Homo-oligomer: A and B are copies of this chain.
């Protein structure tokens, strides 16, 4: 049994847990927690349902594992924000990294969005322990930049919200964006340019 705090996961164990988590990310991000079924995950992973339950205690554990893994990836671009860098370039770099993530990891973005949309029932603790301290810390950094006169003064909290909202929008609302931008061959480039302009005009002292 691969339960609990085992010492060494076998080759097979590592491969199958990976297959399952990747399949589950697909299914959960497409249908939401309750909309996803173990059968769908099993089929997508190419394993039988009882076999899935050999590697994970249940549907919820798979979801929680995914959310835990996601948290690190998700916060990384903000962690990278360097208090000693050039303020405007740091912010614009952050915007760009978030936008790239929306393009490269849309499943992760939607998984996260779905969880928050439903009130973060399985992630509220993470928000308080992981996100909140980081958020407060980076708000302080930005506020210091503004007080130094290196950036125009705005509420750093709403600034960060607007960065999250505008970048993640391209992943989370992709179905809508696709309809409205149907024949644009360079959606990503257009978004990148627009957002760089917007945040530059907002923040240039």
Contact = CB atoms under 8 A, between A and B. Distances in A.
Interface of A: 30-35, 110, 113-114, 116-120, 124, 127-128, 131-132, 135, 152, 154-155, 157-159, 161-162, 164-166, 168-170, 172-173, 175-177, 179-181, 184, 190-191, 193-195, 197-198, 201-202
Contacts of A164: 169, 173
B35 A32 contact: yes
A135 to B, nearest CB: 5
Contact of A116 (B31, B128, B176): B176
A175 B181 CA distance: 30
A117 B127 contact: no
Given A116-B173, A157-B190, A164-B169, 11 more contacts: A30-B119, A113-B117, A113-B172, A117-B173, A119-B175, A120-B176, A132-B179, A157-B181, A161-B177, A162-B169, A165-B169
